[in-house]
Structure 1
């Protein structure tokens, strides 16, 4: 059985606090862990948005459901390429404004192998 995904303890503009991680600007969470999400690792920008490479780590950690935040003002894109990849692998995907994404994610932590990408600004 996979470890439980860490809960998000708080979210505010420019700051997210994750159980077992502490504070970060942006965060990646998965069953059993979390770390700061560094967009420079994959060349992510607001447009086109969350890259397939951004979600690979979460899938490798065993996430079967992903929550992808679009930012506090929904300026972070989620390209069709990323959604197609996830759906082709049978991954349930939720996309939402960041505060809503946190609510969805925290609601799934106790019952699902959930992973998430959370952007705390625009």
Structure 2
């Protein structure tokens, strides 16, 4: 199963191939995507992305996880999240969201098992 392409990104809106939904923030993995609701884990811009935010994507067997930190990179990433990913042998890229989408799509086009969590505002 391949990772779906992110077909468009703009402030507050993301479209993922294979989904009719428009996401504000989203999670993607080989074969799927869904809205990333920060309320599920109590995530805030600071301290940022927690291990619980990426666990679902990790469970899909990804080799690389791309984190989109927002258009202005306001979303931080906890060191414990990076450690969690490294402990599972997963390469992590943390980038401004538009750059993150380009990196994710390039890896997906190469057939990599790539996943991501993306914040489309701030």
TM-score bracket, normalised by the shorter chain, equals over 0.9
In structure 2, the residue matched to 1:23 is: 22
Please list every run of 5 or more consecutive structure 1 residues that lacks an aligned counterpart in the other structure.
none
Distance 1:118 1:53 in 2: 15
In structure 2, the residue matched to 1:64 is: 63
Please list every run of 5 or more consecutive structure 2 residues that lacks an aligned counterpart in the other structure.
none
* Local SS of the residue matching 2:74: coil
Q: How does 1:103-122 map to 2 (within 5 A)?
A: 103-110=102-109, 111-122=111-122
Cα offset, 1:49, TM superposition:
0.7
Over aligned residues, Cα RMSD in angstroms? 0.7
Cα offset, 1:20, TM superposition:
1.6
Distance 1:79 1:29 in 2: 20
In structure 2, the residue matched to 1:10 is: 8
Cα offset, 1:63, TM superposition:
1.1
* Local SS of the residue matching 1:56: helix
Q: Deviations over 1:12-54 (max 9, x none)?
A: 0010111122311011000110001100011110001111001
Distance 1:55 1:63 in 2: 11
* Local SS of the residue matching 1:40: helix
* Local SS of the residue matching 2:85: helix
In structure 1, the residue matched to 2:42 is: 43
In structure 1, the residue matched to 2:91 is: 92
Cα offset, 1:108, TM superposition:
0.6
How many residues are paired up? Answer: 120
Give the TM-score normalised by structure 2. 0.96
Give the TM-score normalised by structure 1. 0.96
Cα offset, 1:89, TM superposition:
1.3
